[in-house]
Structure 1
Amino acid sequence: MKAHVNVALAVVAAAGLLVSSGCGSSGSDAGSGPVKLTLLTGFTGPDAPAYQALVDDFNSAHPRIQVTMDVQPWDAIGQKLPAAWATGQGPDLATPNFDPGVIFNYIRTNSVLALEPAVGDGDTKINASAFPSAVAKAFTVDGHLYAVPANLASVALYYNKEMFKAAGIAEPPRTADEFVAAAKKLTIGGAKPTQYGISLADHQTIQMWPILQWMAGGDIAGADGCATINSSASVQALRTWADLVANDHVSPVGQTGSDADTLFSAKKAAMELNGPWAAAGFRKAGVDVGIAPVPVGSAGPVTVASTVPLMVAKNTKHQAESLEFLSWWTGKTAQATFSKKSGFPPARTDVTVADPAVEVFASGLPTARPYLSGLAAATKIDTDVYAPLIGEITRGADVRKAADTAAAAINKLTGCRG
């Protein structure tokens, strides 16, 4: 144990994450000024100013608590934060990753604070009941709430209006059958398309493929951790879309999320599944973009819920102030302001959205589902099993055999014995 601790300390020191305003700081302990909190985030994209504006609003309204937002790349946070928090160092608050499943890693090392002392009704409490139920469930482990949503969004269907008009398609697809038909019709150029019907990514991205399964009643794994990736509904949905990619060439194979965005921005794809963070970039690229709900399949309306967990270090010296910040961040006023500035829907279901573009994403939240929610092995399932599976079947592998192999691998990771 001592050797592991020494290695962890060395990693943290080398990473430069032992910030003076973090867990080990003196801050205003001597009573000489405001309590200083550090918030570490990976919000480096075009929505970054909206997060900074929210922090600035908090600081203006709370002169006795001042929060500094430290923005670093997600991969850097993933390398540095676990060791820092596990050894009682690092920031007071952090968004550890854009993958909600990462919270299990920090819970396992007893690095994060359970938030129950701040949960309740009213403006000075974390109103967890106002979060979409699927999100609150994703952040609750063994009856304890460990995170609040730093942001919240659903994935919707982006489409190029000019391409739709040229193809004679008057409206975005509303059903699964219309979705498939549109993807085919909007693909131009045969085996070497000059225009793709849709831009699908399968790794290093917010996952798009689970939506295609959920639409048909399929899934990847159940709440008990047992694989459902090889159920008849899952296999059928995967086969349908794998055939569309491999044989009808509706999308390139093996794209990252960045690749998929670039293709749509370059006006080489007619549709993409994405969140509100993408809208400004697509418009800046000159795309005449429309945004519509995800088409409805046989299982009813469904989409992916995208949320970034915001957590408090277990060993922060400023627990009360950190919890006060989370209560304010998730309050009605802050969420309404953030939605207006960022284009994201509010992280609460009881805040009205006035912007029609934001409303598309807000309307998807009641039926949105976090990817691999509640599974401690979620990250490993995604990187080691699910993403490789999609890569295989879109390159022509037998879907049934690949799904059965994936199911066995998932059950091994989760400990399910069937």
Structure 2
Amino acid sequence: MKKRNTALAVAAGAAAVALALSGCSTSSSSSASGPVTLKVWTGFTGGDRPGYAQIVKDFEASHPDIKVQMTVQPWDTIQQKLPSAWLTGQGPDIAAVSSDPNAVAQYVKTNSVLALTDTGSGKDQINTSKLAPGTVKEFTYKGKLYGIPANFATLSLYYNKKLFQQAGITNPPKTIDELAQDAKKLTTGGHYGISLADNQTIQMWPVLQWLEGGDIVNGKGCSVLQTSAGQKSLSTWADLVAKGKVSPVGQTGAEADSLFSAGKAAMEINGPWAAPGYKSAGVDLGIATIPTGVDGTSVTLGSTAPLSVSAKTKYPKQAQEFLAYWTSKSTQEKFSLKTGFPPLRTDMTDDAKLTADPTVSVFASQVGNARLYLPHVPQATKVDSDGYVPLIGKITRGTSVASATKDAAQTIDGLTGCSQ
């Protein structure tokens, strides 16, 4: 169900499975006059995998001069093999380098990735102006673009219609205040109002903070948890969990999913990958956009994985042509309808086929409002695991927000190298 990876994977991994056999060697054409062969590595082994396979199949059909061999393997395997493979020129032409979008930085430092130059609005160009917000900046270093979003997922509010009806609540919450009120009202009769995870999960708590006017770090990578706004944004939900018992404490993402799937929680913040599992579990499922924040703004968390080109590829033009096809409107429409994921573009909110799909339309409508988690923050993974996750664990168990944020700020600033 939920994407489970401490690096915030958009697509979870299982056993390594190859879509096509691919060795660790630089690509070459099948013959002197034959088509070019691009080798691609990805970690997309989850339920969205058929969507990526379809992209490859359709691309080859429309580009007979280019073949694509896509190998699917666990993220850990890619992260172990890819750095040395690209340094020696023995790796794939294109790779989803990690489930962590910040990982592109390490390949930029070692000159292992190609700066993408074939951008624009042409048919075979990467239209960066239409990509999901934050993604172009996330993959840009020193003014050069080194990757594109392989996918983009937004978080929405799942709710159990049956439990809402039993509690006398007609509609899902529209505002953050209503979300808090409903969470309390729905916590009754052995049911929790909301199922919140704080570890081994794609983060839900930053969304709550943003809606309450707070944040984790500023543009310099310095913690703002200890500021009055930061503390206030955590206090409401810390109290609701620690004192109001609206959610179990210390849940992993999988545990939070199971609680909602079993009908023991009325709400959960989750991504599009969860919908099929909840439906098959028999949940009387409703999906709504994330409620608006205290100032009336709309925001949710967006997650992505980067797709980059090897600096040593023999086929930079064809590789970028493949990325342009991958991010095109027609491709993204087909991918969304097949997988339930929203498109990674901002110019498809009025797409008739997507708006007609009740699941896709909710997630797609929030693409323009989505924010990435800890973008361009040095050591973002450790900021999450060593700073933010322990913070949420403390405040939901009764530690004062003032004390917990002070400790978390010291940890975070030490990791990012912040010196205010």
Indicate yes or no: 2:233 matched with 1:251.
no
Structure 2 equivalent of residue 46 of structure 1: 47
Correspondences of 1:75-224 after superposition (within 5 Å): 75-115=76-116, 117-189=117-189, 194-224=190-220
Query: What percentage of residue pairs aligned between the two structures are identical?
Result: 55
Q: Does 1:348 align with 2:345?
A: yes
- Counting helix residues as a fraction of each chain, which structure ranks higher? 1
Residue 113 of structure 1 deviates from its aligned partner by 1.4
SS in 1 for 2:151: strand
The one-letter code of the counterpart of 1:410 is I
Shift of 1:344: 1.5
Assess if the C-alpha contact under 8 Å between 2:79 and 2:97 holds in 1.
yes
Q: Do 2:207 and 2:301's aligned partners in 1 also have CA atoms closer than 8 Å? A: yes
Q: Is the 8 A contact 1:23 1:89 kept in 2?
A: yes
What TM-score, normalized by structure 1, do the two folds share?
0.90
Structure-2 residue corresponding to 1:357: 359
Distance 1:20 1:44 in 2: 15
Q: Secondary structure at the match of 1:324?
A: helix
Counterpart amino acid of 2:291? P
Instruction: Report the AA paired with residue 279 of structure 2.
Output: R
Q: Which runs of 5+ in 2 are unaligned?
A: 1-15
Match for 1:289 among 285, 290, 311? 285
How far 1:377 sits from its partner (Å)? 2.2
- Taking structure 2 as the reference length, the TM-score comes to 0.90
Once residues 68 and 26 of structure 1 are traced to their aligned partners in structure 2, the CA distance between those partners, rounded to angstroms, is 10
SS at match of 2:149: strand
1:133-160 Cα offsets, whole Å, 9 max, x none, are 3222222222111111111121110111
- Residue 315 (structure 1) aligned with residue 317 (structure 2): no
Q: 1:342 to 1:20 in 2, by over 3 A?
A: closer
Q: Does 1:370 align with 2:366?
A: no
Identify the range of structure 1 (171-180 vs 100-109) with the bigger mean alpha-carbon deviation: 100-109
In structure 2, the residue corresponding to 1:290 is in which secondary structure? strand
| Cα distance in 1 between the residues matched to 2:90 and 2:32 | 22
1:26-45 Cα distance to aligned partner (Å, 9 max, x none): 52175253222222112121
Contact 1:138 1:373 in 2 (8 A): yes
Question: Which secondary structure state, in structure 2, belongs to the residue aligned with residue 118 of structure 1?
Answer: coil
Q: Does 1:331 align with 2:328?
A: yes
Cα offsets for 1:143-191 (capped at 9, x unmatched): 11111111112111011111111111100011111101111111225xx
Equivalent residues of 2:379, 2:415 under 8 A apart: yes
Q: In the alignment, residue 370 of structure 1 is paired with which amino acid?
A: L
How many aligned residue pairs are there? Answer: 398
Which residue of 2 is the match for residue 236 of structure 1? 232
Deviates more, 1:79-88 or 1:366-375: 79-88
Computed over aligned residues only, the root mean square deviation of the Cα atoms, in angstroms, reads 2.1
Q: 2:71 is matched with which residue?
A: 70
Contact 1:20 1:27 in 2 (8 A): no
Alpha-carbon distance change, 332 to 110 in structure 1, aligned in 2, over 3 angstroms: same
Q: Partners of 1:59 and 1:96 in 2: how far apart?
A: 22
Cα gap change, 1:171 to 1:26, in 2 (>3 Å): closer
Could you tell me which runs of 5 or more consecutive residues in structure 1 were left unpaired when the two chains were aligned: 1-14
**Residue aligning to 2:265:** 269
Amino acid at match of 2:174: R
SS of corresponding position for 1:53: helix
Post-superposition offset of 1:303? 0.7
Q: Which runs of 4+ in 1 moved over 4 A?
A: 19-23
Against the structure 1 CA distance between its residues 272 and 164, is the aligned structure 2 distance closer, same or farther, given a 3 Å change threshold? same
